[in-house]
A = this chain, B = another copy of it.
Amino acid sequence: MERRPTITDVARHAGVSKGLVSLALNDRPGVNADTRARIRSAADDIGWRPNAAARSLTSRRTSALGLVVTRDPSIIETDPFFAAFIAGLEAVLSERGQVLVLSVVPDADAEERTYRTLAGDGRVDGFIITDLRRADPRVALVAELGSVAVTLGEPDVPSPFPAVRREYEHGIDDLVHYLADLGHTRIAHVAGNDDMLHGHARREQFERTAEALGVRAVVTPTDFSPEAGASATEDLLGTDPRDRPTAIVYGNDPMAIAGMAVAQRLGFRVPDDVSISGLDGSQIGRHVYPALTTLDNDPAEWGRVVAATLLDLVDGKDPVDRTLTPARLIVRGSTGAPLRNPA
């Protein structure tokens, strides 16, 4: 097996010193243009690529970003966010010669261990913190580890790190208004994990708007899993018809899909007997019947902006918060006016 060419091989081929090769190939100033070109073609000729480990050892940069996803294995599969989010990250990372180190861990203990390992072993230059929780320990942990991060959303703890956020309040406001305008007076919210900041904020906004409109609101917190969405729906629809909600807003699309299935199995027509809405968007929501009303999110946009923000931070630029375009209400067939006489 032939040895991979090193910078010394390039230097020999180009008839220069390896120090100069390093300068030339890293686009540093102070190299004669001809020499630079000669070095470059020598490198191409022998197919040289800088070794990441060697470079990292001196530059103290790994050119890698860490994403640690903490989700129960059964929930991660149905979460429509991550795949597109990662594709968005990747679009920026590959362009800038960076890689993504991904971990999927089952619980908070494994999560902390993974952060410590990734930072302690010097494997990544920074972290992407998703699914912020209340009093999230990860912000302080990353700081303690001497690393940096970007958070998706604004943490409720002091954070030295830039945040990327999307305005969701108006979207929820629009959604509840839209349902109230259709004539719904009892609207349930099968909320996501209330310990997660985004789940919590959406629930609060839902309650605020419902109260402002004089709509009767019932909130059931869950864990974002379709199972939980299904069982919450059974409870809601099993109540006395006079108390029963005529519209249900779910914390994410998979729960909404599961809830819609329960409603249909119990003989409720959607949307005539009960209107169903997701939150957070998804591709599959367009393809169920009836198609799911939801609030759009654009996971790929999240990914692109988060990656760019974190790379700038790692490059020593001043951290700047970024705000994405607000979530927009997408009305599809799963919501409509409530029928006077339910089946």
Interface residues of A (CB under 8 A from B): 1-2, 4, 47, 49-54, 56-57, 62, 64, 73-74, 76-80, 82-84, 86-87, 90, 94, 97, 99-106, 110, 113-114, 117-118, 120-123, 146, 226-227, 229-230, 254, 257-258, 260-262, 264-265, 282-284, 286-291, 299-300
Contacts and interface: CB of A to CB of B under 8 A. Distances in A.
A47 B53 CA distance: 22
Most buried by B among A79, A118, A123, A282: A123
Contacts of A51: 57, 121-122
Nearest first, the 5 A-B pairs at minimum CB distance are A261-B289, A258-B287, A49-B120, A53-B56, A264-B289
**Chain A: interface secondary structure?**
helix
Given A257-B284, A284-B257, A76 B80 contact: no
Contacts of A258: 284, 287-288
A265 B270 CA distance: 12
Contacts of A82: 83
A53 B49 contact: no
A13 to B, nearest CB: 17
B289 A262 contact: yes
B78 A90 contact: no
A237 to B, nearest CB: 13
A171 B262 CA distance: 28
A104 B121 contact: no
Given A50-B121, A54-B57, 20 more contacts: A49-B120, A52-B123, A53-B54, A57-B57, A73-B87, A74-B283, A76-B83, A76-B84, A76-B87, A77-B80, A87-B106, A90-B105, A94-B105, A101-B101, A226-B287, A254-B284, A258-B287, A261-B287, A265-B289, A288-B288
Contacts of A49: 117, 120-121
Contacts of A261: 287-289, 291
